[in-house]
A and B are shown apart, each in its own frame.
Chain A
Amino acid sequence: LAKTTQPISMDSYEGQEVNITCSHNNIATNDYITWYQQFPSQGPRFIIQGYKTKVTNEVASLFIPADRKSSTLSLPRVSLSDTAVYYCLVGDRGSSGSARQLTFGSGTQLTVLP
């Protein structure tokens, strides 16, 4: 399973764009990159998933360079309610028929300040 490295914490102000970078130097060919958000006392919530280049949904964008050894989660115009822990995970999507054992690291605590 590919190991990921993220900053432990980040601070931002309301209305700013936040970029959280994750390193995954030993990502495998079949691996996808997935980001989750977790609020206190809740289970993680799926944000976005991608394989290469750029993926965008209504919540965030995910930028993946050509070598795929890192990825950046971009949150546009954050609000106080975006304060949470953000996890970057790398793993295959089960295409091999085996279970998808995604490993959660310690994540990045994002604090949005007024």
Chain B
Amino acid sequence: NAGVTQTPKFRILKIGQSMTLQCAQDMNHNYMYWYRQDPGMGLKLIYYSVGAGITDKGEVPNGYNVSRSTTEDFPLRLELAAPSQTSVYFCASSPRESGYTFGSGTRLTVV
């Protein structure tokens, strides 16, 4: 089925480790986003992209990096993981003038 695919679904990291959260969409959407959601809270925008080769910071970019080499993929890189990055991470995509389609999320725990 068409949509946004995130991998992995769960991950436990040790403090200081690094990892990449994968996000892929097959709807040919130009816009892609990474959000994090802490327990009981709304979603906060980390990074977004308006097309291949173009990325920009959102509300909470510190500790993260992204790249957008293709329209389909928008990986999120965590360098030097910290306990404050324990959260659920959602990737989303959208065409220019419509609602977002979200992935099912990656639950990350940093210990």
User: Could you say which of A10-18, A41-49, A67-75 contacts chain B?
Assistant: A41-49
User: Could you say which of B13-21, B70-78, B79-87, B92-100 contacts chain A?
Assistant: B92-100
Does A87 touch B at the CB level, under 8 Å? yes
Does B109 touch A at the CB level, under 8 Å? no
B44/A104 in contact, CB under 8 A: yes
B31/A94 in contact, CB under 8 A: yes
Q: In the assembled complex, which residues on chain B have CB atoms less than 8 Å from the CB atom of A100?
A: 31, 94, 96
**Total number of B residues with any Cβ neighbor in A under 8 Å:** 28
Chain B residue at smallest Cβ distance from A94 = B96
Known: A94-B96, A100-B31. A43 touches B104 (CB 8 A): yes
Q: Tally of A-B residue pairs with Cβ under 8 A?
A: 60
Given contacts A94-B96, A102-B100, 6 further A-B contacts (CB under 8 A): A43-B92, A44-B90, A93-B98, A104-B35, A104-B43, A106-B42
Q: In the assembled complex, which residues on chain A have CB atoms less than 8 Å from the CB atom of B49?
A: 99
B43/A44 in contact, CB under 8 A: yes
Known: A42-B105, A94-B31, A104-B42. A99 touches B99 (CB 8 A): no
Closest chain B CB from A61 CB (angstroms): 16
Q: In the assembled complex, which residues on chain A have CB atoms less than 8 Å from the CB atom of B45?
A: 101-103
From A34, A41, A87, A98, B105 is in contact (CB under 8 Å) with A41
Chain B residue at smallest Cβ distance from A95 = B97
Report, as a range, how many residues of chain A touch the other chain: 20 to 34
- Report Cα–Cα, A43/B58, bound state, in Å: 18
A105/B42 in contact, CB under 8 A: yes
A45/B102 in contact, CB under 8 A: yes
Known: A99-B50, A101-B58, A107-B42. A43 touches B97 (CB 8 A): no
Closest chain A CB from B53 CB (angstroms): 14
Q: In the assembled complex, which residues on chain B have CB atoms less than 8 Å from the CB atom of A87?
A: 42-43
Q: In the assembled complex, which residues on chain A have CB atoms less than 8 Å from the CB atom of B59?
A: 103
Q: In the assembled complex, which residues on chain A have CB atoms less than 8 Å from the CB atom of B96?
A: 93-94, 100
A99/B43 in contact, CB under 8 A: no
Known: A101-B58, A106-B41. A44 touches B97 (CB 8 A): no
Closest chain B CB from A95 CB (angstroms): 7
